[in-house]
Chains A and B, each alone.
Chain A
Amino acid sequence: MPDTEPPVRDAGFEEDPRYRTAKRELAIALAYWVAFTTAVTATAWLLGGHKTADELTFVLGFPAWFFWSVPVTCLVFSGIAYVLVRRFFTDIPLSADGDAGGPEER
């Protein structure tokens, strides 16, 4: 689904509409990064911060804080990345003039 909105004119030249798609994807990636960082840090610290080794519980042979904050969170966020790209990332041509490899239209 390429962008079909009309090109913007503000600085007296025609803007490439594909860059708006790129900007949206940048925003998505930044939000994803914030969420991932928060999830890993919070899970680890809330479950395991300042506990001595004797107080720890173990899940599948790993300390519980580690188990939930690392393998589980990573797998969940790998899934989220997949869904984000599938649902919100747009297929656009990358060639200089924006054609999908066809002859140039002037």
Chain B
Amino acid sequence: MRWGILIPILLYAVVLLAIAWWSFRRRQAVAEGRKTEHYYMGGRSLGWMLLMFTLLASGASAGTFIGGPGLVYGEGYGWILVSVFQVPTAFIALAVLGKKWAIVGRKLGALSIVEMLRHRYENPVVVVLSSLGIVVFLSAYMVPQFVGGSRLLEAATGADYRVVLICLAALVAVYTTFGGFLADAMSDVLQGVIMLVGAVVVWVALLSAAGGMGAVNDQVMSTAPELFTLPGPGGFTPQMIASYSLQLGLMFGVLPHLAVRAMSYRDSRSVHTAMKVGPLVMTVITLGFLTMGMMARYYHPDMEVGDLALPTTIVEVLPAGVAGVLFAAPLAAVMSTVDAMILVVAGTIIRDLYTAYVNPRVSDGRTSAITSATTLGLTALVLVLALNPPDYLELLVIYAIGGLETAFFFPLVLGLYWKRANALGAGLGMAGGMAWYTVVNNWAPELALGMFPIATSSAVALALFLLGSYLGPPPRREVLVKFWGTQAEIDRLGDAARPAR
């Protein structure tokens, strides 16, 4: 056990719990009837710092810190090249869903993607499909996060993987159950700052210890020169590179846990500032951590598991206290992603499925109890799955992301900006896109046409969406009023404004 590294991490956990406690107390003080909104969305009050960091931290996950550097270590610079497509993601997400997303969300009091879809398409098939998609894919996504965080801690502290995993899961469960959205966003700022400073500090430390990038290059040149080349071991042809951008840049923002954040900011000034600063911050974080994957080759040219290259190197090169603080950053990234997702999945199960279809008249107190139980159950499920970790994290992460993006991008974006979009289009596009995506990933890789699977899956989803929208009846007038009309027009609808089942 390396206590020097463990102590800063434990301190960090204490700070997180304190934030959760504070957030819990604050929620107690929120007026009755607004508690749920506060728990899932923090009362739509995020300023630019909270908005930017919560987007970056919830987006930057185990992939950026562990899987990413591991892939760079194993397959070279091509992986950094495709990862930079996440640099403008916050900007693009906030502009594509846009202020319309935030305004309509406020008008309808919607707290999740599924709720928006229910208002827009008024179709149980669409609602159930999207809810199941969220539950299945996000749960899958959480597994590699937990695995990554635990592996990292195992490498850093020498503690047993299983013990670490269980502690991590327990911390996340407690923290999410009590803290809710606001605690999550608050801790994201702390984490974002640590990530940013950490990226720079580790970079400088590793580089000066190695004696500059030249020394790193000579080492790589003599052991694995193919890491410098394109397409290289990762097979990055131009169409492959560009199709990554679809997944990491354009469509990333419709992921349920990020789309919720794109609704929750205070005003348009906050969103503008977050958009201006976001790309630059993400550039530093992405480049900083990923180039370290290459530097790790200088210290350990022949590791079996690439994921461990960076943590092992950090432990060796940096003094223990500094290393501990730095390990808090990726750990934090993992935790912030996971707890954002748990909130979304729990919300989906409880608010979009249970109260919408099973028991509409459930009381506020009951809801809160069910929420806690669901959160714990989810964490336990993910924990069990994480006990047998897969080999390369990033691919699993990407698998889950692509499926959700394929399902949600067109129903959300076209639903917001295209009046003709209707339930038949949304249902067909979702089902067809997800089916295609699954088939391409599991059984017929040639259907991807030499690109990342999301490219052809999106094309299929879009084609089916358009087809269904033109075949099916246009949306009810009430729906159009809700998504295009002024508030006065919506008020005039009265009871008709409620979504039809």
Tell me the A residues contacting B by CB distance below 8 Å: 7, 11-16, 18-19, 21-23, 25-26, 28-30, 32-33, 36-38, 40-42, 44-45, 48-54, 56, 58, 60-63, 65-66, 69-71, 73-75, 77-78, 81-82, 85-86, 89-98, 106
For A42, give the chain B residue with the smallest CB separation: B238
The docked-state distance in angstroms from the alpha carbon of A26 to that of B253 is: 13
- Give the residue name and chain of the B residue nearest to A101 (CB): B267
**What is the bound-complex CA distance between A62 and B216, given in angstroms?**
10
Q: A33-B245, A71-B287, A94-B99 are in contact. Are A53 and B226 (CB under 8 A)?
A: yes
Cβ contacts A to B, 30 pairs, < 8 Å: A7-B486, A11-B480, A11-B484, A13-B477, A13-B481, A14-B485, A14-B486, A15-B485, A25-B95, A25-B98, A29-B95, A40-B241, A41-B238, A41-B245, A45-B238, A48-B229, A50-B230, A52-B229, A53-B226, A63-B228, A66-B81, A69-B81, A77-B279, A78-B283, A82-B280, A85-B272, A85-B275, A89-B275, A97-B487, A97-B488
Given A49-B230, A53-B221, A81-B276, decide whether A37 and B245 contact each other with a Cβ distance below 8 A.
Answer: yes
User: With A13-B481, A45-B238 in contact, do A26 and B417 touch (Cβ < 8 Å)?
Assistant: yes
Specify which chain A residues have a CB less than 8 angstroms from the CB of B419 in the assembled complex: 11
Complex: how many Å from CA A52 to CA B80? 18
B264-303 residues at the A interface, CB under 8 angstroms: 267-269, 272, 275-276, 278-280, 283, 286-287
- 0/1 per residue, B463-501, Cβ < 8 Å to A? 000000000000001001100111111000000000000
Instruction: Decide: B287 and A70 in contact? CB cutoff 8 A.
Output: yes
**B249 interface residue, CB < 8 Å from A?**
yes
A89 to B214, CA, bound (A): 43
Q: In the bound complex, what is the Cα–Cα distance between A89 and B336 (angstroms)?
A: 30
Contact with B88, one of A11, A23, A32, A69 (Cβ below 8 angstroms):
A32
- Determine the chain B residues whose CB is within 8 A of the CB of A11 once the complex forms: 419, 477, 480-481, 484
Determine the chain A residues whose CB is within 8 A of the CB of B416 once the complex forms. 22
Contact of A12 among B92, B95, B477 (CB under 8 A): B477
A56 CB contacts on chain B under 8 angstroms: 228-229
Q: Are A51 and B229 in contact (CB under 8 A)?
A: yes
* Contact in complex: B77, A78 (CB < 8 Å): no
Query: Known contacts A66-B77, A92-B268; is A61 also within 8 Å of B275 by CB?
Result: no
Q: Is the interface of B mostly helix, strand, loop or mixed?
A: helix
In the bound complex, how far is the Cα of B84 from the Cα of A20, in angstroms?
31
Q: Is B212 an interface residue (CB 8 A)?
A: yes
Determine how close the nearest CB of chain A comes to the CB of B47; give it in whole angstroms: 13
Residues of B within 8 A of A16 (CB): 103, 484-487
Whole-angstrom CA separation of A94 from B88 in the bound complex: 23
Task: State whether B229 touches A41 (Cβ < 8 A).
Answer: no
Neighbouring B residues of A32 by C-beta, 8 Å: 88, 91-92, 95
Contact A41:B95 (CB < 8 A) given known A85-B276, A89-B272: no
Tell me whether A81 and B477 are in contact (CB under 8 A): no
B96 contacts the other chain (Cβ, under 8 Å)?
Answer: yes
A28-B95, A48-B229 as given contacts; A23 in contact with B279, CB under 8 Å: no
Pair A36/B230 contact, Cβ less than 8 Å:
no
Taking the nearest CB of chain B, how far is it from the CB of A95, in angstroms?
6
Supply 13 further A-B pairs (C-beta < 8 A) apart from A58-B217, A70-B80, A81-B276: A12-B477, A22-B101, A29-B91, A40-B81, A40-B85, A41-B242, A52-B225, A53-B229, A74-B87, A81-B91, A82-B280, A94-B267, A96-B106
